[in-house]
Amino acid sequence: MIHLLRNVHVYAPEDLGNCHVLVAAGKVVAISHEVPHIEPSLLTTDQDYAGKKLIPGLIDGHAHITGGGGETGFSSKVPAVHLSEYTQAGVTTVVGLLGTDDLTRSTSSLVAQVYALRESGLSAYCYTGGYHIPLTTLTGSVKSDIVHIEPILGVGELAISDHRSSQPTFDEVARIAGDAHVAGLMTGKAGIVHFHLGDGDRGMDLINDLLQQTEIPARVLNPTHCNRKKVLFDQACQLTRLGCYIDVTAFPVAEDEDGLTAADAFKQFKANGFPPDKFTISSDGGGCLPHFDAQGELLHMDFGRNLALSETLKELLDAGLATDQVLPAFTSNVAKLLRLNTKGQVKVGLDADLVILDTEHQIQDVMAMGQWHRKNHQTLIYGGFETNK
């Protein structure tokens, strides 16, 4: 398939101005200020976008692709996320993981769902393990999973500072992080440990201990949900000065909650001058969003939606923040952390994962690996078992 996108304002994520973009064989093959010379009969699609913004496809680095939940019994397990739920949010690459339920859900089923999404045209990867130690693995070890199973990028989401965790010790986590790092060196993969942070008082203590007492590089230690408490976010921001990437979750925050929305966290991070390349935003799509009392009793529960990612992007752009400063948290920063070298940018030779924003900063068109999944706000490609075709 060959596609010509005329007169798009390209944010790659850097601002390239008004350009014409040619896509062929799933790759971006030309970005130019002059219309590429190509026989019109060869074009699958040819559209003039009249200056609308073209951005890289969003990378959702934390999603429960097989579903999450289960904190209130088996009936509370969230089902797997449908293909169109990703593309409606402008997500063209997703990283799946296991959470609280790493027993009835497995790394095996996670890898299988990665392959299913790939067969449907989406780029997908995953982590091995889950909340608890011993980790749920496919081959019996973290190092072997990362080395031998191509889609597995690292370990996640390993829970700390949470009553639902296995209360891991320093030595246990240090060994896991060391194995992940070495496996990353052997393969060129990310080799990171993606930490679920609960709202416990210990906060980032374990990560700080690892930085101070081991030789494990800071980039290996990647905390998420850092915006669930304001004090936790303050701790996380300091980690970025040491080389850690931090991830915030695009979940709803009530007025009486001690937390920050992803948009507010981004604004605060930027205003305080922390390293802009060490900040990412993910959706927790398909995962549960429970609220517990001091005794660990569930008060109420919602679940994460991938659309929260595009809604956060819109909120930031609507607030007047510069597009090229906002986009990296959803695209190139994630790709750099995860070592996804063909993702996160609009660049000749890289994968044609592209999103067109309408004039209100909503997701209009979505191309994944050179194939249109959405056009004019309408889904063109659905997953095999979606009921709303």
For the chain, the domains span: 2-55+344-379, 57-338
Q: State yes or no: 377 annotated in a binding site.
A: no
* Residue 73 pLDDT: 75
* Residue 388 pLDDT: 64
Cα 37 to Cα 293: distance, rounded to the nearest angstrom:
64
Is residue 368 within 8 A of residue 121, CB to CB? The reply is yes
* Residue 296 pLDDT: 62
Cα 373 to Cα 381: distance, rounded to the nearest angstrom:
5
Percent of the chain residues past pLDDT 90, beyond the cut: 87
| Angle (nearest 5°) at CA 58 between 54 and 64 | 160
Average pLDDT of 337-343?
98
Cα 307 to Cα 298: distance, rounded to the nearest angstrom:
25
Q: Is residue 263 over pLDDT 60? A: yes
Location of structure tokens 């398939």: 1
* Residue 293 pLDDT: 60
Q: State yes or no: 101 annotated in a binding site.
A: no
358 is catalytic: no
Residue pLDDT, tens place only, 44-68: 999 999 999 999 999 999 999 998 8
* Residue 304 pLDDT: 72
Cα 22 to Cα 352: distance, rounded to the nearest angstrom:
9
Residues in the chain: 389
How, if at all, do strands 288-292 and 298-303 pair?
Answer: antiparallel
- DSSP structure class, residue 295: T
Q: State yes or no: 64 annotated in a binding site.
A: yes
> Cα 281 vs. chain centroid, distance in angstroms?
7
- pLDDT tier for residue 38 given thresholds of 50, 70 and 90: very high
* Residue 290 pLDDT: 61
Cα 157 to Cα 292: distance, rounded to the nearest angstrom:
19
- DSSP structure class, residue 71: B
- pLDDT tier for residue 165 given thresholds of 50, 70 and 90: very high
Is residue 383 within 8 A of residue 79, CB to CB? The reply is no
- pLDDT tier for residue 188 given thresholds of 50, 70 and 90: very high
- DSSP letter string, 53-107: EEEEPEEEEEE-TT--B-BTBGGGBPPPPPHHHHHHTTEEEEEE---S--SSS-H
* Residue 292 pLDDT: 55
* Residue 79 pLDDT: 83
Q: State yes or no: 284 annotated in a binding site.
A: yes
Q: What is the CATH code of the structural domain delimited by 57-338?
A: 3.20.20.140
Q: Which residue has the higher pLDDT, 361 or 294?
A: 361
Q: Is residue 226 over pLDDT 80? A: yes
Give the residue from 202, 206, 151, 155 showing the smallest Cα distance to 176. Answer: 155
Within 8 A by CB and 6+ apart from 81, the residues are 63, 64, 65, 67, 285, 286, 306
Percent of the chain residues past pLDDT 70, beyond the cut: 94
* Residue 291 pLDDT: 59
**Residue 60: what are its φ and ψ, rounded to 5°?**
-95, 100
Question: pTM of this prediction?
Answer: 0.95
Q: State yes or no: 9 annotated in a binding site.
A: no
Q: Of 60, 247, 264, 284, which residue is the catalytic one?
A: 284
Cα 33 to Cα 105: distance, rounded to the nearest angstrom:
49
- Look at the alpha carbons of 331, 366, 89, 130 in this order and tell me if their dihedral is positive or negative: negative
Residue pLDDT, tens place only, 97-131: 999 999 999 999 999 999 999 999 999 999 999 99
End-to-end Cα distance, the chain = 24
CATH superfamily of 2-55+344-379: Urease, subunit C, domain 1 (2.30.40.10)
- DSSP structure class, residue 41: G
